[in-house]
Structure 1
Amino acid sequence: MSSSKTSSLPQKPPNHSSINSTPTNAMSLEITQKWFALYVKARHEKVVDRALHRVGFDSFLPLYVLRHVYAHCSKEHQIPLFPGYVFCRFDPLKRTPILSTPGVISIVSVARKPVPVDDVEIFSLQSAIKAQLPLERCGFVETGQRVRIIHGALSGIEGIVLEVRNSVRLVLSITLLQRSVQLEIDASWIAPCEAPSVSLSIAS
């Protein structure tokens, strides 16, 4: 009776390059891409935001609801919180497509060098909008005692208190633009904080 032998040839090690390439590329994009403020033509904020999304850029246009009351009815309109500006996340060394977008005038810069917006400030603003909290524009605020929100959809975000009563107004600031927006929050939802924070303030 003849017995068959199974050949023990050395096996080629698996190729992990295709597995590792995606995380590496994603990590590289995370490092090189930053949030920037784009200065756009008047009343072109929504046009620019749609155009950037259409070609695959991560853009952000914060809006608030403004109600107009007429003789027999009322209408709600979504208005940019920061008129004349749209935020976009990209590699500053590859900004030509951004500047070529119809409606874009320039990237907010200092000494002709684009200046990124603080990621935490963008995240705070996105969180407030995602939570569908009512927002309105206000004067720029950047002083006071630091606190942390400990309850609700904005839990973990840090801010600055000017005055606390039964309720307070949470002011989210974009330092680069010297602009702020405010929303109301329960005073029991905040706690003292010793860690440094972004310019995110609370007013009475």
Structure 2
Amino acid sequence: MSRMPSSAMDCETERSRWYALRTRSRHEKLVRDQLNGQGIEPLLPTVRRLSQWKDRKKEVEVPLFSGYCFVRFASEQKLPVLKTVGVVDIVGGGFQPEPIPDEEILALQTLMATVLPYDPHPYLHEGMAVEVIRGPLQGVRGILLRKEKRHRLILGIRLIQQAAAVEIDVDDIAPLP
């Protein structure tokens, strides 16, 4: 019976990937803290929000992506991650967790390290059906298009196979459900 050299096993053990965890509602910080306590690297991007109660206002730290926490682990750590209190599941396709590309996590970490203000934003991509949520075109639905560095809203008339395009600020649109 042949054994894998220990250096090859170490390399495999060290090959950890980033994954997104779906968490129970308002359990993101608990999940982050428990994973950290287990020696598993979590990432929970947060933003500061002014929260108001009847008697006072207070600045609180809330998750950037509600219901999600990121975690870096190797395949043999999957079970301890799943057994962490507050974890619902590991996001993926079918029955298999799907790793997040390192450059996407690095971009998020870079953003978190800056002093720039940031907020959650609907995920938009070219070709997506969107609706204008403010401005003179409020309520209009169309398709998001990008031409050079500008975003455009395509308004189509299907019956005659014709369309019009208008420049739009991405902050003024939202994806259709």
TM-score normalised by the shorter chain: which range applies? 0.5 to 0.7
Corresponding residue to 1:37 among 16, 20, 44: 20
Amino acid at match of 1:121: E
Identity %: 31
Please say which structure displays the higher CA radius of gyration: 1
Task: Give the superposed CA RMSD.
Answer: 2.8
Structure 1 moving runs of 4+ over 3 Å: 27-30, 69-74, 143-146
Q: How far is 1:72 from its partner?
A: 7.5
- Check if 1:121 corresponds to 2:111: no
Task: Please give the secondary structure, in 2, of the residue aligned with 1:97.
Answer: helix
Task: Please give the secondary structure, in 2, of the residue aligned with 1:102.
Answer: coil
Corresponding residue to 2:42 among 59, 69, 81: 59
The match for 1:90 is 73
* Unmatched runs of 5 consecutive residues or more in structure 2: 1-5, 127-145, 152-168, 172-177
Amino acid at match of 1:95: K
> Which has the higher mean CA deviation after the structures are superposed, 57-66 or 126-135?
126-135
Q: TM-score, normalised by structure 1?
A: 0.56
* Unmatched runs of 5 consecutive residues or more in structure 1: 1-20, 147-160, 164-201
Superposed CA deviations along residues 134-161 of structure 1, whole A, max 9, x for unmatched, are 1111111233368xxxxxxxxxxxxxx4
Corresponding residue to 2:125 among 128, 138, 142: 142
Partners in 2 of 1:111 and 1:66 — Cα distance?
Answer: 35
Task: Please give the secondary structure, in 2, of the residue aligned with 1:48.
Answer: helix
The match for 1:193 is none
Count the aligned residue pairs.
130
